[in-house]
Amino acid sequence: MTVFVYFTRDEFACKETGENEIKDEFISRLDELRERCGFPFRITSGYRSPRHSIEAVKSRPGQHTTGRAADIAVNGGEQRYILLREAFDMGFPGIGPAKDFVHVDERLSGATSWVY
């Protein structure tokens, strides 16, 4: 079993079904991202079952269903900026900032960014 510095696997369980297929390698990358940012992360959404209400209405399941995506809460613009800077520097291919969280993922379909 992999040991993580800042996270437990339970933090990434689907909020609706309790399923948890988050990838250990992804959590390890988030550990590194957390270290580089220098402030605590609260995961607001990790793994989502394809049956999760957000995923079930999509034409195809999103990145959270792959076990390689997370939404990380941020408190203000400075945290958002630091998290974005470090995520881009680490090469996360999917990055989407919002007012109170930043989505990061390890999609295989190429790099992209968007704003919620």
Q: Residues 55-96: pLDDT tens digits?
A: 999 999 899 999 999 999 999 999 999 999 999 999 999 999
Q: Give pLDDT, residue 88.
A: 98
Q: Is the pLDDT of residue 101 over 80?
A: yes
Q: Is the pLDDT of residue 19 over 90?
A: yes
Q: Give pLDDT, residue 2.
A: 86
- Residue 112 CB neighbours (<10 A): 11
Contact present, 67 and 22 (Cβ < 8 Å): yes
**Res. 114 pLDDT band, cuts 50 70 90:** very high
What is the distance between the alpha carbons of residues 52 and 3, in angstroms, rounded to a whole number?
A: 28
Amino acid at position 17, single letter: T
Percent of the chain at pLDDT > 70 equals 99
Token pair in block for residue 28: 């390890």
Contact present, 63 and 46 (Cβ < 8 Å): no
Give me the half-sphere count of Cα atoms (radius 13 Å) on the Cβ side of residue 24. 4
Q: Give pLDDT, residue 11.
A: 97
What is the distance between the alpha carbons of residues 2 and 86, in angstroms, rounded to a whole number?
A: 23
CATH class belonging to 11-107 = alpha beta
Q: Give pLDDT, residue 83.
A: 98
